[in-house]
């Protein structure tokens, strides 16, 4: 198949380490036959076809797909990620090992894709993956840090100290909303360090970050919480659950709060957007089950 495709300069990619390995379930063709040279735009369709025709739980298919994650062409590594997410199975140790090595790759895009794959493949509580993702929460690339924060939700066990220590110590302002969301999922109720960090995030400049911190506080604050700032924004309801004090919360997100003389008033669209976000939070808290919703 590969020999019949045009080889345009700068638009083809060669599969690394194909070595002529046979991929069972793909008509007896070899990886070299299929992938020797492909135009970049052909990779999504080719990898989809590979996944569709491969037998279930074939480790050679996983090896080929994971080997494409560090491609220098973003189209190729994105196609490999999508195919791997379709094909890989949770808890497969070989996939975990082959994907984890890319978490230290020099390209941020490769680290990001590896974190996304691990969120799907790693079993809950997989210590090595939690440790690796927790480290990437502090990655210098903001998107890698954001994806790693979200991935911890899928992998870390509730109360995992490695994950919580990393999240609480994160000071990247662009991902604080994700940090608050992750803390809501992973922290147990009444963890003093988490409550203290969320109270700090309530002072952030971006209103949606403050709202995310308020949501997290409603999930993690102890039923016996005495902190006056928590009690200012939240009130206890049935079954010792916390609910939002709406007037105070509106002021927290800048709706209804006094406007300083040098500040521009909010436009109606912005007011409606903020109010709708708060309403969605109130509805979530009113209808939640015992487990935190994603």
What is the chain's pLDDT, residue by residue, as a tens digit (294 residues)? 333 333 333 333 444 433 434 444 444 454 445 555 677 788 889 898 889 988 888 888 888 899 899 988 888 999 999 999 899 889 988 889 989 999 999 999 999 999 999 999 999 999 999 999 999 999 999 999 999 999 999 999 999 999 999 999 999 999 999 999 999 999 999 999 999 999 999 999 999 999 999 999 999 999 999 999 999 999 998 778 999 999 999 999 998 765 544 566 788 899 999 999 999 999 999 887 444 444
Rounded to whole angstroms, the Cα distance separating 201 from 89 reads 37
Q: Which of 45, 48, 100, 102 is nearest to 71 (CA)?
A: 102
| pTM of the entire predicted model | 0.80
Crossing angle between the packed helical segments 59-68 and 74-87, to the nearest 10 degrees: 150
212: exposed, middle or buried (C-beta count within 10 Å: 0-12, 13-18, 19+)?
Answer: buried
Rounded to whole angstroms, the Cα distance separating 80 from 187 reads 33
Contact yes or no for 109/102 (Cβ under 8 A)? no
pLDDT at 11: 39
Separation in Å, CA 47 to CA 26, 78, 126:
11, 11, 28
**Any idea how long the chain is?**
294
pLDDT at 238: 78
For the beta carbon of residue 229, count every other beta carbon within 10 angstroms: 11
φ and ψ at 257, to 5 degrees? -80, 150
């Amino acid at each position: 198949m590969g020999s019949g495709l045009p080889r345009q300069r700068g638009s083809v990619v060669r599969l690394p380490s194909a070595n002529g390995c046979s991929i069972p379930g793909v008509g007896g063709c070899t990886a070299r036959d299929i992938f020797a040279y492909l135009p970049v735009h052909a990779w999504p369709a080719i990898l989809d076809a590979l996944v569709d025709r491969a037998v279930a739980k074939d480790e050679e298919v996983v090896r080929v797909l994971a080997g494409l994650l560090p491609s220098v062409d973003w189209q190729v590594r994105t196609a490999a990620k999508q195919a791997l997410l379709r094909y890989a199975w949770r808890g497969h140790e070989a996939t975990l090992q082959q994907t984890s090595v890319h978490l230290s790759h020099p390209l941020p895009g490769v680290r990001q894709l590896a974190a996304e794959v691990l969120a799907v493949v790693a079993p809950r509580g997989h210590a090595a993956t939690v440790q690796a993702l927790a480290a990437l929460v502090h990655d210098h690339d903001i998107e890698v840090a954001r994806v790693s924060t979200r991935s911890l939700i899928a992998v870390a066990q509730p109360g995992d100290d490695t994950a919580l220590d990393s999240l609480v110590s994160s000071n990247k302002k662009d991902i604080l909303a994700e940090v608050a969301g992750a803390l809501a999922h992973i922290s147990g109720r009444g963890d003093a360090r988490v409550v203290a960090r969320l109270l700090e995030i309530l002072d952030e400049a971006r209103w949606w970050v403050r709202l995310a911190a308020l949501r997290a506080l409603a999930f993690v604050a102890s039923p016996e919480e005495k902190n006056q700032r928590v009690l200012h924004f939240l009130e206890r309801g049935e079954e010792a659950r916390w609910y939002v004090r709406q007037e105070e919360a509106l002021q927290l997100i800048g709706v209804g709060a006094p406007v300083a003389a040098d500040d521009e008033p909010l436009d109606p669209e912005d007011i409606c957007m903020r109010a709708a976000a708060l309403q969605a939070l109130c509805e979530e808290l009113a209808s939640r089950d015992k487990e935190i919703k994603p």
